[in-house]
Amino acid sequence: MAQTTKKYQIIQKVSANDTVLLHPETESSVVTYDNTASQLTATNVKAAVDELKTRIDTVQLNVDALDSNVVKGVKGSAESSYRKGQVSISYQNVGAEQAGAVSTHNSSGSAHSDIRSSVTTAQNTADEAKSIAQGRARAVSFDTVSAMATALNSAAKTDYKVGDNLFIKALNVPDYWISKVNNSKSGDYGYFEISPLETQSVDLSGYQTKTDNTLSTTSKTIVGAIDELKGQIATAMSDCDIAATIATNAATEVSELVNGSTPAARATTATSATSADRATSAGKWTTARALGIAVVSGSDASGNDLMGTGSANIDGSADSIVTINLANSGVSAGTYSAVQVNAKGIAIAGGQMIEIGSTGQTTPSASLATGGLFFKEV
């Protein structure tokens, strides 16, 4: 049997209007190589590349042997690449300081900023310790906590010392003291950290037994009034539970009357009946009725409803069978390697996953499913 060899590009259909060209990876050791023109001995791509690398390395060794005593370029220690020709070396090229740069650097206010900052921090700490040792802690008062926070946030680092007392004039608010002075501002209190003063809490136990005639309860003390209100609330909650039980029972009885599980009492007389449990006998309907059925089984690929319909006449005298004719899904009868189904499991589109293009064909046909592969002849 004769075999024909052809070359193809692999194109994947990603949507109705878009495709993507695929280049499948192949190991170089299995890709054949025609060595007729190059006169190499290799017969695959990997071996050909390896053979070329060996030849290049041999040539490079010969070049290195010739150039071993030749200056190829010049660069200073601060440069990243070599220069050729007439090369001038400056202090920047070798990483040296310009004349007078050291003196200028040491006198600069920004030079050694980390050392200067550390010295300043150490001096401030020493001054703070000296102030504490000399008993320079003081007391300052503010109307509110908010006023205290505003003052601290806008104060300089030297305005307050560790141990300073901060008293708040407002009642039922704790007083504070400066517990730490930081080198930089942060948070609500600027340079400062504060802690509450440990003061004696006010004893209000006598207030709960004090008589207050303005109370609308029978008891005129706080404790008695609370107990009295608690009893009234408990009674009200009990009454609510009883009412809820009555409402639940009533709803159950009405539901049973509606669904027929509890029959209603029979009326002794009635002008006419609006409904009956059952009829003891019935004849054929005077007028026959047409019974129609429509079944929607989803949508086709274009979004149109797939409607199944059927009808039958019924007059109550005999059983009737309704035959339903399902609508076509829009897919032509045939064999497909991929189908699209709707939520009801009905096929609404079909296509092939592989298509081998004919000579001159540049794009896949409509029968190729989305995600399928098209082999374009090249």
Rg (CA), the chain: 50
Q: Can you tell me the distance from the alpha carbon of 148 to that of 192, in angstroms, rounded to the nearest whole number?
A: 12
- Would you tell me how many other CB atoms lie within 10 Å of the CB of residue 196? 12
Q: What is the pLDDT along the chain (378 residues), one digit of tens a residue?
A: 888 888 888 889 888 889 888 766 667 776 788 889 988 998 888 898 999 999 898 888 877 776 666 677 888 888 888 888 788 888 777 777 777 766 676 666 666 677 777 777 787 777 766 666 655 567 899 999 999 999 999 999 989 999 899 999 988 888 999 999 999 998 899 999 999 987 655 556 666 677 878 888 888 887 888 888 888 899 988 888 898 888 888 888 878 877 777 776 655 554 554 554 544 455 688 888 888 888 887 787 777 888 888 888 888 888 888 888 887 877 778 777 788 888 777 887 878 889 888 889 988 988 888 888 989 887
Which two tokens mark 279?
């009829």
Q: Where are the domains of the chain?
A: 31-63, 126-196, 209-245, 291-377
pTM of the model: 0.28
Q: Which residues contact 282 (CB under 8 A, 6 or more apart)?
A: 316
Query: C-alpha angle with apex 165: 159 to 169, nearest 5 degrees?
Result: 110
Task: Give the up-direction half-sphere exposure of residue 193: CA atoms within 13 A in the CB hemisphere.
Answer: 6
Beta bridge partners of 22: 10
User: Nearest to residue 55, comparing CAs of 68, 42, 69, 36?
Assistant: 42
Q: Can you tell me the distance from the alpha carbon of 77 to that of 177, in angstroms, rounded to the nearest whole number?
A: 59
Q: What is the DSSP string of 257-312?
A: HHHTSSPPPPPS--S--S--S--S-----SS-EEEEEEEEEEE-TTS-EEEEEEEE
Instruction: Give residue 279's pLDDT.
Output: 44
What Cα–Cα distance (Å) separates residue 307 from each residue in 196, 297, 328? 79, 6, 9
Q: Can you tell me the distance from the alpha carbon of 298 to that of 306, in angstroms, rounded to the nearest whole number?
A: 6
Instruction: Give residue 326's pLDDT.
Output: 80
Span between the terminal Cα atoms of the chain, in Å: 24
Q: Can you tell me the distance from the alpha carbon of 176 to that of 195, in angstroms, rounded to the nearest whole number?
A: 5
